[in-house]
């Protein structure tokens, strides 16, 4: 079964499989510390008026944060993202999302903890650049 958003023309989930929606819901209930910190700066249109969703399903991926109007995914990467195998998976995911005009920004947990203001400035700068579509 394929999920259809309220406005099926907006392609909010790009035909995501409905079985993964439960996974995303569970992930929203137990965010990492770094995700919580960033979410507090993104939620309720705090980032230049852009609406972000957390643990949002796109295709078969669950994005940590997604802004549909800017076609921007923000990923917060912990230690396991530093392994060669996971880096390859992340690169493949970025490539696949790029095919749909969705850009991906990645930040390490440490960047969120140690340099949140710089992370937020990078996001603002990225939002100012128009998406491909």
Q: How many CA atoms lie within 13 A of 83 on its CB side?
A: 6
Tokens matching residue 38: 């960033």
Residue 6 has pLDDT above 50, yes or no: no
Which CATH number applies to 8-128? Answer: 3.40.960.10
pLDDT digits (tens, 9 = 90+) for 34-72: 999 999 999 999 999 999 999 888 888 889 999 999 999
Cα torsion through 81, 87, 93, 95, rounded to 10: 140
Residues 6+ away with beta carbon under 8 Å from 69? 50, 51
Q: What is the pTM of this model?
A: 0.78
Beta partners for residue 61, in sequence order: 58
């Amino acid at each position: 079964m394929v999920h259809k958003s309220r406005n099926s023309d907006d392609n909010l989930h790009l035909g995501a499989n409905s079985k993964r929606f439960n996974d995303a819901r569970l992930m929203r209930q137990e965010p990492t510390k770094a995700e919580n910190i960033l979410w507090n700066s993104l939620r309720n249109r705090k980032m230049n008026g852009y609406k972000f969703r957390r643990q949002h399903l796109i295709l078969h991926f669950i994005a940590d944060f997604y802004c549909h109007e800017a076609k921007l995914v923000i990923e917060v990467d912990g230690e396991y993202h530093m392994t060669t195998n996971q880096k390859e998976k992340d690169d493949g995911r970025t490539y696949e999302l790029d095919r749909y005009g969705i850009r991906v920004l990645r930040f390490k947990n440490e960047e969120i903890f140690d340099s949140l203001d710089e992370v937020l400035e990078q996001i603002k700068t990225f939002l100012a650049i128009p998406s491909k579509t």
